[in-house]
């Protein structure tokens, strides 16, 4: 049960002044539903401003605060033209305060002619005139002069402004009380870290690296503790030792001999499954390394031992694909494979549920529907979870309750993960690696070209389709965004390609209704549609051997891991495949290196390490890279530097106080609830 001391932090944001239904929505879009969420909504950066007596003291591009007297308002000749307010400083220098759109109404109210105001913003030059575009602050004389200012800049959603979110954060911090200390005093002294609450306050005030590191360490410690507690609990629980006799596996008709990595992984899995403590193993495989075959071998061990196995997939399309593939491969063995998804209804669903209960089904493949309350098994002893990063530890624990004893769990991911992040995300799992590809797998030619070559690319695409081949075209955004950058939008690109290819083109993106998305994917998978225009929702998608061309537009906007996953959608058949990376006109050095690496190698494990190096410090994890890690506070740099210490700290704490019952153990329980890793506490008695 959550400690009472945390209740104020888990209060809904509606309890704060000024938060009603209108403001609640944009806050929810950012995941800010409670006081603690606002506490941890840390600034992306800070703007440091300097107060100047007059404009002669300021440089172009500098953030300043200056006292101005308003002299004139100039409306634009059209609705789209800028609205300018002319003002002068104390020595007569003229400055234009420039507004666009509806902001001009604000300017008329805030800046009456003849009045003096303090103005904060970035000083720029437009032609022969100095200007500040959309001033950040306009304050009446006698109010706050803004002086030396270090101002936080927060991530926003539509309907929120910087002053509004900053005000809510300050309200949240005022409701936040100090918590008992869960870090060793010696560690705090050594690092020079503030207390938890002081760290939060400082992190919102300026570039306090010690405060940021302290908060990141808290998150890494909570995660490490939770994973270790789950692992320790798993070792104590009784599983079902499964020893197969090989009678099913020997009948498998595989299209190619097993690689050394596959044989090694199967042996590791077989060894785990023979033990009484349930297996918790991660199977990491590069794109096309043959994970499905390894998973089938593992599930057949369970079937040979008289038990049932289940495979859990993140989407219905992927579940259906796995079902077809497993059913085809398992057919010679006589093992009975079934499909169960949320879409199944009526008598067919009831029949499947009955067959699971009486043991007529050996292997079931499905989405989260396979572990709903109404689904009961005869003897579920083995579970495979595909694309592990889509499922949390909590869901793994739910699965554990489905068998007579805790089932053996094999988690698979096609996303090679750097060693550091493997420890962070999968600390409680043993790891098997498929680091070699089956023989006959062709290399994919990777080409980089500029946006100006799109016309030639479309002609090549037409030739490809005329030969009966299929292709993917991936865009980074769903709709055009306002601003100077021309962002390729999937809807705009689809409209352009549809004019050329008509009914041969289908579109998929995350905002489509599930049934529309499935219908489009099924048309493409069946070959009825030749070109799939999509966002990265196809990063984990259907297996279409006939697709031999992958186009990734504005490729510089994607991380290496994503580019590699997308490239892996082609090259699955016998024909040569090509991946075309279409780049924008301006590239950062990091983007250039990223695209060069894509041309240089197809080794997903190397690309994962390079991705970690290139993304470097500062980029927050979690939502930004399709759920790469469970962290929202810790940056990549902090994970690399702080995680080993946090992991050792967690291990020592559990060795000394396995039940978390001493003073520091009690504080650690509070930490687990604070970061919602309470599944770790629930493995303890009295948790």
Secondary structure (3-state) at 51: strand
The structure tokens listed for 373 are 């309350």
Question: What is the SS3 string spanning 130-199?
Answer: EEEECCCEEEECCCCCCCCEEEEECCCCCCCCHHHHHHHHHHHHHCCCCCCCCCCHHHHHHHCCCCHHHH
Residue 79 has what pLDDT?
77
- The percent of residues in the chain predicted with pLDDT above 90, rounded, is 55
Secondary structure (3-state) at 525: helix
DSSP state for residue 654 in the 8-state scheme: H
Which among 634, 672, 633, 686 has a CA at the least distance from the CA of 180? 672
Q: Packing angle between helix 162-174 and helix 196-205, nearest 10 degrees?
A: 160
Neighbours of 326 (CB within 10 A): 23
- Max CA pair span of the chain: 94
Q: Are 614 and 594 in contact (CB under 8 A)?
A: yes
Residue 399 has what pLDDT?
58
CATH 3.10.105.10 fits 240-434, yes or no: no
pLDDT beyond 90 at 171: yes
Residue 400 has what pLDDT?
57
The region of weakest confidence among 174-178, 248-252, 337-341, 400-404 is 400-404
Q: What is the spatial distance between Cα 366 and Cα 371, in angstroms, rounded to a whole number?
A: 9
pLDDT beyond 60 at 394: no
Q: What is the spatial distance between Cα 598 and Cα 595, in angstroms, rounded to a whole number?
A: 5
pLDDT beyond 50 at 159: yes
DSSP state for residue 447 in the 8-state scheme: E
Instruction: Compute the radius of gyration of the chain from its Cα atoms.
Output: 29
Residue 227 has what pLDDT?
85
pLDDT one-digit tens code per residue, 68-78:
999 999 998 88
The region of weakest confidence among 87-91, 233-237, 306-310 is 233-237
pLDDT beyond 90 at 422: no
The structure tokens listed for 215 are 């908060």
What are the residue ranges spanned by the domains of the chain? 45-153, 240-434, 445-601
Residue 621 has what pLDDT?
27
Which among 250, 244, 361, 371 has a CA at the least distance from the CA of 308? 361
Give the β-pairing of 547-553 and 505-508: unpaired
pLDDT beyond 90 at 502: yes
**pLDDT band at residue 618, thresholds of 50, 70 and 90?**
very low
pLDDT one-digit tens code per residue, 39-72:
999 998 888 888 899 999 999 999 999 999 999 9
- Average pLDDT of every residue of the chain: 86
List, in order, residues 6 or more apart from 639 with CB less than 8 Å away. Answer: 216, 220, 420, 421, 424, 621, 629, 631
Query: How far is residue 476 from each of residues 13, 115, 356, 461, 480, measured CA to CA in Å?
Result: 32, 47, 42, 20, 10
Q: Mean of the pLDDT values across residues 495-509?
A: 93
For domain 45-153, the CATH superfamily is Nucleic acid-binding proteins (2.40.50.140)
The region of weakest confidence among 43-52, 172-181, 312-321, 537-546 is 537-546
Q: Mean of the pLDDT values across residues 423-430?
A: 70
Residue 685 has what pLDDT?
54
Q: Are 504 and 470 in contact (CB under 8 A)?
A: no
Q: What is the spatial distance between Cα 460 and Cα 331, in angstroms, rounded to a whole number?
A: 40
Locate tokens 């209704």: which residue? 513
Phi, psi of 388, rounded to the nearest 5 degrees: -55, -35
- The percent of residues in the chain predicted with pLDDT above 70, rounded, is 89
Q: Assess whether the region 240-434 and the region 445-601 belong to the same CATH fold.
A: yes
pLDDT one-digit tens code per residue, 6-15:
999 999 999 9
CATH 3.20.20.70 fits 445-601, yes or no: no
pLDDT one-digit tens code per residue, 94-143:
999 999 888 888 899 999 999 999 999 999 999 889 999 999 888 887 65
pLDDT beyond 70 at 541: no
pLDDT one-digit tens code per residue, 573-592:
888 999 999 998 888 888 89
User: How many degrees, rounded to 5, is the angle at CA 356 between CA 351 and CA 357?
Assistant: 95
pLDDT one-digit tens code per residue, 476-498:
864 444 333 334 478 889 999 99
């Amino acid at each position: 049960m959550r400690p009472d001391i945390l209740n104020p932090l888990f209060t809904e944001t509606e309890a704060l002044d000024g938060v009603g239904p209108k403001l609640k929505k944009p806050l929810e879009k950012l995941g800010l539903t409670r006081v603690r969420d606002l506490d941890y909504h840390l600034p992306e950066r800070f703007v440091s401003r300097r107060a100047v007596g007059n404009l002669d003291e300021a440089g172009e591009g500098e953030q300043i605060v200056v006292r101005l007297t308003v002299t004139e308002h100039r409306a634009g000749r059209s609705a789209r033209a800028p609205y300018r307010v002319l003002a002068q400083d104390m020595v007569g220098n003229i400055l234009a305060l420039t507004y666009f759109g509806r902001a001009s109404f604000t300017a008329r109210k805030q800046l009456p002619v003849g009045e003096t105001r303090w103005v904060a913003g970035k000083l720029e030059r437009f032609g022969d005139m100095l200007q500040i575009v959309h001033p950040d602050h306009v304050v009446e004389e006698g109010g706050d002069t803004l002086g030396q200012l270090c101002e936080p800049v927060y991530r926003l959603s539509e309907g929120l402004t910087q002053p509004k979110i900053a005000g809510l954060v300050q309200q949240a911090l005022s409701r936040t009380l100090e918590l008992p200390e869960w870090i060793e005093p010696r560690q705090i002294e050594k690092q020079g870290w503030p207390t938890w609450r002081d760290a939060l306050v400082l992190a919102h005030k300026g570039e306090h690296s010690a405060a940021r590191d302290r908060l990141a360490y808290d998150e890494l410690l909570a995660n490490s503790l939770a994973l270790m507690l789950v692992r320790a609990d798993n070792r104590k629980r009784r599983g079902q030792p499964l020893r197969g006799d090989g009678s099913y596996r020997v009948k498998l008709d595989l299209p190619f001999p097993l690689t050394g990595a596959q044989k090694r992984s199967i042996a590791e899995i077989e060894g785990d499954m023979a033990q009484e403590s349930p297996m918790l193993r991660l199977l990491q495989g590069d794109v096309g390394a043959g994970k499905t075959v390894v998973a089938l071998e593992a599930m057949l061990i369970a079937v040979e031992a008289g038990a049932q196995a289940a495979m859990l997939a993140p989407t219905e399309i992927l579940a259906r694909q796995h079902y077809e593939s497993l059913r085809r491969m398992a057919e010679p063995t006589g093992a009975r494979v079934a499909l169960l998804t949320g879409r199944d209804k009526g008598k067919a669903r009831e029949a499947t549920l009955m067959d699971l209960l009486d043991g007529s089904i050996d292997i079931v493949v499905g989405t989260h529907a396979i572990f709903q309350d109404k689904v009961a098994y005869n003897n579920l002893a083995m579970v495979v979870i595909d694309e592990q990063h889509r499922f949390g530890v909590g869901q793994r624990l739910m699965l554990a309750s489905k068998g007579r004893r805790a089932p053996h769990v094999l988690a698979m991911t096609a996303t090679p993960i750097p060693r550091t992040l493997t420890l962070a995300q999968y600390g409680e799992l043993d790891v098997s690696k498929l680091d070699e590809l089956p023989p006959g797998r062709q290399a994919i030619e990777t080409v980089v070209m500029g946006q100006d070559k799109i016309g030639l690319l479309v002609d090549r695409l037409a030739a490809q389709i005329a030969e009966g081949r299929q292709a993917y075209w991936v865009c980074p955004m769903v709709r055009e965004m306002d601003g100077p950058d021309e962002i390729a939008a999937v809807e705009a690109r689809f409209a352009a390609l549809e004019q050329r290819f008509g009914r041969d083109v289908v579109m998929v993106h995350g905002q489509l209704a599930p049934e529309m998305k499935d219908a489009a994917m099924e048309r493409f998978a069946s070959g009825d549609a030749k070109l799939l225009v999509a966002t990265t929702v196809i990063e984990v998608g259907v297996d279409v051997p006939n697709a031999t061309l992958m186009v990734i537009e504005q490729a510089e906007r994607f991380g290496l891991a994503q580019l590699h996953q997308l490239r892996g959608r082609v090259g699955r058949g016998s024909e040569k495949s090509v991946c075309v990376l279409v780049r924008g006109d301006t590239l950062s050095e990091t983007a250039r290196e990223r695209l060069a690496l894509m041309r240089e190698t197809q080794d997903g494990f190397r690309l994962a390490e390079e991705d970690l190096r290139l993304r470097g410090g500062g980029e927050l994890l979690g939502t930004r890279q399709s759920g790469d890690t469970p962290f929202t506070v810790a940056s990549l740099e902090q994970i690399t530097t702080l995680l080993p210490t946090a992991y050792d700290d967690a291990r020592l704490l559990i060795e000394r106080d396995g039940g978390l019952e001493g003073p520091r153990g009690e504080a650690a329980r509070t930490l687990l609830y604070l970061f919602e890793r309470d599944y770790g506490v629930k493995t303890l008695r009295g948790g």
